[in-house]
Amino acid sequence: MWQIKIDESLEKTLKKIDSEKRKRIFDFLRLRVAVSENPRTLSEPMKGNFAGLCRYRVGDYRIICRIEDDILTVLVLKIGHRKNIYN
């Protein structure tokens, strides 16, 4: 089972997201990503400035993560609406 860690800098961002959407994001991370054998199969690899990171889609929101295979951890670096996340 993979451990999900949320970067501390996301605290403010998460408070701005509607509670229903925030619950959907956390449910996705907990019920799909954490129990997956390989979380990369659920994600898309990123390019450009975000090379080496992975992206998950949850409705109109995107979750940008770093997958650390050696310690079985998915580190969530950024969460945001699809129109703002890549800026």
pLDDT tens figures, 41-76:
999 999 998 999 999 999 999 999 999 999 999 999
Angle at the Cα of 81 from the Cα atoms of 36 and 55, rounded to 5 degrees:
30
pLDDT of residue 87: 78
The edge-to-edge listing of strands for the beta sheet with 3-6 is 3-6, 73-81, 61-68, 54-58, 44-45
Assess whether pLDDT exceeds 90 at residue 86.
no
Instruction: Tell me what the pLDDT averaged over the chain comes to.
Output: 94
Domains within the chain, CATH numbers bracketed: 3-81 (3.30.2310.20)
Rg (CA), the chain: 12
Cβ–Cβ < 8 Å for 12, 77: no
SS3 call for 74: strand
